[in-house]
Structure 1
Amino acid sequence: MKMKAAVMVELGKSLEIQEVTLQEPNANEVLVKIAATGVCHSDLNALNDESTPLPTILGHEGAGIVEAVGPNVKGLKIGDKVALSWVPYCGTCEFCVTGAVHLCESAFGPMFNGTLLDGTSRLNKDGKTIYHNSLLSTFAEYAVVPELSCVKIPDEMPLTQASLIGCGVATGYGAAVHAAKVTPGSTVAIFGIGGVGVNAIQGARIAGAAKIIACDVKEANLEIAKKFGATHTINVACENTEEQLKAMSDGYGVHFSIDCTGNTIATENAWKGTRKGGTVVAVGAFNPNKTLNLPAGGFHRLGKVLKGSFYGDTQPFRDFPVIARLYLDGKFNLDDLILNRIQLNDINEAFEAFHNDCCINVGRTVIEFPLENNFDNKRTIEFVTVENSFKRTDDTELVEA
């Protein structure tokens, strides 16, 4: 089938809006009509990363409606609303069978190579391969993705809000609830109030923390943090962070610190401001050329835990529906994470905003796609491949987003 997509054709350059060809899903794959997709800073990183294969379609935060399924797909049907996870897992390795699906390595080889799980691409233009991004490539009208990237969500869940769940929202929420295991009545410090940090605040609030301290260098971000549940703030550029954290926690330090910055200095400050027996979670990605320095004297007597957390220890099929339900129940704020709503043709404006220090970065610009064509009672979708063509016609009536 032909579709419109934003294609990365050159390192660091603007994306090009092109008509590309998408092939049908293989046995364990799903065709999703993309309804909305967030523009994440990680997409900018990929745009500037020399290891990104070219050409590629970026985008890894998305939600939409199932349009077709491969013959081995059992858990989804045409018309289901889904939020997409960019980290599918194998389900059989040692990590998966013990519940730590976020540590499964099966997706990363294909992910780095720009393919789907079987090592091939479903995308091309005039017969030339186009690569996938994070096994999703949501900057397009449709995506063929692994079944294990599709998490069914309630029919009443709006898809623009749902599109945010799969990356920063789940990572921040999971960092507080699953990685740190924040306890009711505790004191929590969150470092870095961006797309992940603000959701770590929400996770800590939902977990029952009594005091949530937002730590950042931007006063605007600290003000925004209060809207999501922060009870106190520290401008780490102006104040002694360790002293302030201890002053706000009876001199002991906080019970939990969650560093979302990827800055080793922030992690060191988080460690110093956390009490004996406390937990420090580092969820941001460090520069591999940096060194993390912690005081060695009396280290064994502190009883502290320093933990790295990938994807907030998220289990998508457990956590995405929970977050959706919390939103629908008015307990999780996704609405205020939507900074702008744009069309695909305007995608480069969202990338340009990342370079503007005056722009708010607590949230996402979301690309929305029109879904009106999906509400016809009869629809025909055609896929064209080198070997053959595949046609599906169905009478499924979809629920409007």
Structure 2
Amino acid sequence: MPYEVKGVVALSKGAPVTIETVIVPDPGPGEAVVDVQACGVCHTDLHYREGGINDEFPFLLGHEAAGVVSAVGEGVTNVAVGDYVVLNWRAVCGECRACAAGKPWYCFNTHNAAQKMTLADGTELSPALGIGAFVEKTLVHSGQCTKVDPAAPPTAAGLLGCGVMAGVGAAINTGGVTRGNSVAVFGCGGVGDAAIAGSKLAGATTIIAVDIDDRKLEWARGMGATHTVNSKETDPVEAIKGLTGGFGVDVAIDAVGHPAVYEQAFYSRDLAGTVVLVGVPNPTMEVTLPMIEVFGRGGALKSSWYGDCLPSRDFPMLIDLYLQGRFDLDAFVSETIPLDAVEQAFQKMHDGEVLRSVVVFDK
């Protein structure tokens, strides 16, 4: 029979979120119900609340989550009841042209649950990124469940579901950062700091953090930045060149998603270097670059969507590195909060007071 649980819902554009009764159906074919144990508060959830993704209100927010599978539908073989999982929004189809080309991390037809969760009056909810995890139980496609080692606490493991994976993947998967490289990361929030941590993990020897907030730059040092640049006080392009023998970095990562920042990243890279855009711009933004510079500098201009990750490959690997003490996921957790503190967490995130607030469900 359906489950009646409490969840965080954005009922209309820009309105404060509210705690609502959510009806979660029994899982159908290919679906799973997950008891959520922890879920990070991500900028994407705020974008949904502000109508920056689409206008399919009401939204059931939350997507950076870990928990335990409590029920599965017909035909589910990849997970079973009792499995500890991190939820992902790239449940690859295995059939689209990207999957057929052997590049499932670009899957163009990812799976979501076929059934809808609803409010108590029957109003259908749009789950954030097809997950909706600011809720005691959520319904997802079984492919959105990635099994990981249960020794990792859900407060840490759940962060792989979006922001941390986006940043780490931007450095390693998209940017191809490797040992001995120089890297500049613009924007030192959760995604940018994850790109810094990923660059360190990959063996980069010069990692330059760029931000306008000295507090965030200090956080970046803790994640592995070897140098910091306050771009409100210093020209970041000149500073980066000064730290790299006048050449620029091998990989420049824009974790902000703003035209001015992207231009700084473009000019701060070495010849044949790579620019990676992982920060999400708004639809009105445009960037203008001289074509002769695009041609003459060579290299690559790339976008990184979800860190070009393959959850079944990357999540267990990063959890193993965490348990070995080589990748500090706990450092991203600024605070743990109850479900009814999400609105306040949005404000703290907006004000730059936290890397991640994490909702913890008291079981």
TM-score by length of 1: 0.86
Note if contact 1:35-1:62 (Cα within 8 Å) is conserved in structure 2. yes
Structure number with greater Rg is: 1
8 A contact 1:168–1:196 mirrored in 2:
yes
| Conserved? CA contact 2:10–2:16, under 8 Å | yes
Shift of the alpha carbon at 1:19?
A: 2.2
Count, aligned residues:
360
- Match for residue 96 of structure 1? 99
Do the aligned residues in 2 keep the contact of 1:24 with 1:122 (CA within 8 Å)? no
Tell me what 2:27 maps to: 25
**C-alpha distance after superposition, 1:139-159 (max 9, x if no partner):** 100001011110000021111
Deviates more, 1:305-314 or 1:32-41: 305-314
**C-alpha displacement of 1:117:** 4.5
* C-alpha deviation, 1:298, in angstroms: 5.3
Give CA deviations for 1:48-89 in whole Å, capped at 9, x if unaligned: 107332322111111100101112110111111100112322
Query: Is 1:268 matched with 2:263?
Result: yes
**TM-aligned CA deviation for residue 299 of structure 1:** 4.1
1:85 counterpart residue number: 88
Distance (Å, rounded) in 1 between the aligned partners of 2:349 and 2:197: 24
Maintained 8 Å contact 1:64/1:81? yes
| Counterpart pick for 2:40 among 38, 41, 57 | 38
Once the two structures are TM-superposed, the CA of residue 335 in structure 1 deviates from its matched residue by: 1.0
Q: What is the distance in 2 between the residues matched to 1:131 and 1:304?
A: 40
Tell me what 2:172 maps to: 177
The CA deviation at 1:184 is 0.6
Instruction: Map 1:284-303 to 2 at 5 A.
Output: 284-297=279-292, 299-303=294-298
Matched, 1:369 2:361: yes
1: CA distance between counterparts of 2:308 and 2:35?
A: 28
Structure 2 contact 20–119 (Cα < 8 Å) conserved:
no
Answer yes or no: is the 8 Å Cα contact 1:66–1:78 preserved in 2. yes
Q: Sequence identity, in percent?
A: 38
TM superposition score normalised by structure 2: 0.95
1:350 maps to 345
CA RMSD of aligned residues (A): 1.6
**How far is 1:323 from its partner?**
1.1
Q: CA deviation at 1:13?
A: 1.4
Equivalent position SS for 2:190: coil
Q: Does 1:307 align with 2:302?
A: yes
**How many angstroms apart in 2 are the aligned matches of 1:248 and 1:82?**
42
Superposition map of 1:27-176 within 5 A: 27-49=29-51, 51-107=54-110, 116-118=112-114, 120-176=115-171
* Contact 2:45 2:128 (C-alpha < 8 Å) held by counterparts: no
Structure with greater helix share of residues: 2
Q: Secondary structure at the match of 1:265?
A: helix
The answer as to whether partners of 1:100 and 1:313 remain within 8 angstroms in 2 is: no
Amino acid aligned to 1:360: E
2:362 matches 1:360: no
| Separation in 2, partners of 1:54, 1:288 | 19
Q: Distance in 2 between matches of 1:126 and 1:56?
A: 15
* Unpaired segments ≥5 residues, structure 2: none
Q: Work out which of the residue numbers 212, 231, 243 in structure 1 matches 2:207.
A: 212
Gaps of 5+ in 1: 111-115, 372-401
- Paired residues for 1:192-231 under 5 Å: 192-231=187-226
Equivalent residues of 1:57, 1:132 under 8 A apart? yes
Q: Does the 8 Å CA contact 1:36/1:62 hold for their aligned counterparts?
A: yes
Q: 1:54 to 1:242 in 2, by over 3 A?
A: closer
Matched position secondary structure for 2:65? strand
**Residue deviations 1:8-55, cap 9 Å, x none?**
222211222122221111110111000000111111110010733232
